[in-house]
Chain A
Amino acid sequence: MTNLHRSIGAAAVIPLAAVALALIFPNQQAFLAQIAITALVVLSLDLVVGFAGLATLGHAAMYGAGAYGAALYALHVWAEPLTGLIVGGLAGATIAFLSALMLMRAHGLTFLMMTVAITQILYEIVNKSRAVTGGDDGLYGIVMQPLLGVFEFDFYGRLAFWYAAVVLWLVFLLLRHIVASPFGLTARAVRDDGDRVATLGGNIFGHRVALYTLSGAIAGLAGALSAQTVQVVGLHSLSVTFSADILVMLVMGGAGRLWGGLLGALVFMMIHHYAAEIDPVRWMLFVGAILVVIVLFLPKGLFGGLEALVNRLRGRAPA
């Protein structure tokens, strides 16, 4: 199979999966939209954790910034979805850029703690700015104009799903291109040995700031999509708990592989959905148990496990 065939095949997977999911779950498209949005934010996290090797619990800061940015824009400026999406992306990118200027001077545990601190600071700022953000009540009453002036958002989440799926697909294609580009290679090289990249002419600080900002823009897009489709924005979108959830999804799916992020989000959200129906209080127990099994037996996540299985069936050594 040539690289072109592989690229076309990979590009077709998300639209085909979206069609299949819409057919299998015709009455749960609002939930499917949430999966697509969550997958988007997990992809953005994968850039930082999987490709750059920076462990963070602060991605909610960018997601929340995107959500609040898009919500405020819709409520006070213009309720047009696509410009709102751009505003959300810019809000996420701005928070990411400003925090990266501090974060990228830190390493290891210090970096991790700083990501938590920045998220907590943002959370408290939004919580205390009740007049603008609604405080712990959040923002609601967001009514979006039709998408492209034609497609109305509906109560069942049909448009929300296709809107989120298309954005996810486009971002996925963009990220596939980016991770294979010299920029993406440098990110992985820095993860392996940053000092060596510096002696080869790579500006590690500048590169990490750029990567974090890109990741923040994508997380902001996801936040904006959530604000526009759910029409409510709450403090949870800025919480460290949410950051931890998406990190769990990434580890579950397999960090450092874009497919892993998608698969992790899908599996986590499905488990969440069905386990919460069985036991609304202790559903995290299911997730925890599954995560332990994955970490112990599939260190490269579900996608890594699938890949190993396919390679085994084809009689090839794992990559």
Chain B
Amino acid sequence: MTDNIAWNAVHAGYGRTVAVEDISVSVAPGEKLGILGRNGAGKTTILRAMMGDAKVHRGTVQVGGADVTQRPAFQRNKLGVAVVPQTRDVFRSLTVRENLLSASADAGRLDHAVAVFPRLGERMRNLGADLSGGEQQMLSIARAIMTAPRFLMLDEPLEGLSPTVAHAVMDAVRRMVTDEGLGCVLVEQHVRTVLEFCDRVMVIERGRCAFLGTPDELEAEGTILSRAVGIAAH
């Protein structure tokens, strides 16, 4: 348990607003947790609470057994948590290579990041601003893994990507998680992707956890997906 990241009865939001309530879940190294829910349900807030970008009103967040609720974001990253935001946030005025090196100067990590996303190797001298959406997403993930995380949190990584690029991105993530034994939290609107990729799924409905279990249990349950996500799993 001490190697996990954990949300313990977390109430979190922005300013005085509480966006999620009573969220309790932990993720072990090598485990893949998917988070599903409608837009505005609070999925992103759960990730942001772990990184300190959302205010935790009650409860605690832990990394490797340490309570990091009050710690700044950079310390949480040093403890092994990296996030790939929905907005990608590549550094637009830096080249691909500089984007990667801004996260870590480790040449070995740079080679590794390029091995995971060979496309980036061809674009090393291009500015972040000049990349396509798919390339920006690859860069955002590659930059996160430059920090050698033990847990990778991905916020809607497939949003706006063509099916081919989305497939390539998920393939790379799958290889990375499997090969390196990373714990992974995936927030995603593509229900089928989550159900196929993840070991466990949490469904968020109006800021609360409506379901936490395996993909099989979720599909067997029947009504939650259509109610909380708005579509069937197929």
Contacts and interface: CB of A to CB of B under 8 A. Distances in A.
Given A186-B102, A196-B85, A201 B78 contact: yes
17 contacts: A182-B104, A182-B105, A185-B101, A188-B94, A189-B99, A191-B93, A192-B91, A195-B89, A196-B85, A198-B73, A200-B74, A200-B82, A200-B144, A201-B77, A202-B102, A203-B74, A204-B74
**List of 10 A-B pairs having minimum Cβ-Cβ separation, nearest first:** A201-B77, A198-B73, A182-B105, A189-B102, A192-B91, A185-B102, A196-B89, A200-B103, A189-B91, A203-B74
Which residue of B77, B82, B102 has the most chain A CB atoms within 10 A of its CB atom? B102
B91 A193 contact: yes
Contacts of B194: none
Nearest to A191: B93
B60 interface: no
Contact of A185 (B85, B89, B94, B144): B94
Interface in B115-157: 127, 143-144, 146-147
A114 interface: no
A188 B91 CA distance: 8
Interface string B23-54: 00000000000000000000000000001010
A186 B100 CA distance: 10
A196 B94 CA distance: 14
A286 B104 CA distance: 46
Contacts of A193: 89, 91
Contact of B73 (A182, A192, A199): A199
B98 interface: yes
Residue from A199, A202, A204 whose CB has the most chain B CB atoms within 10 Å: A199
A199 B144 CA distance: 9
Interface of B: 51, 53, 72-74, 76-78, 82-83, 85, 89, 91-94, 98-99, 101-105, 127, 143-144, 146-147
A113 B147 CA distance: 36
B80 to A, nearest CB: 10
Interface residues of A, number: 19
A75 B76 CA distance: 51
Contacts of B85: 196, 199
A301 to B, nearest CB: 15
Contacts of B94: 185, 188-189, 192
Interface in A122-178: none
Contacts of A192: 91-94
Interface of A: 182, 185-186, 188-189, 191-193, 195-204, 319
Given A188-B102, A192-B93, A196-B89, 6 more contacts: A185-B101, A189-B98, A189-B102, A195-B53, A197-B74, A201-B78
B58 to A, nearest CB: 23
A186 B94 CA distance: 10
A199 B102 contact: no
A196 B91 contact: yes
A202 B147 CA distance: 10
A182 B93 contact: no
A247 B74 CA distance: 32
A193 B89 CA distance: 7
A198 B82 contact: no
A262 to B, nearest CB: 21
A198 B74 CA distance: 5
Contacts of A199: 51, 53, 73-74, 76-77, 82-83, 85
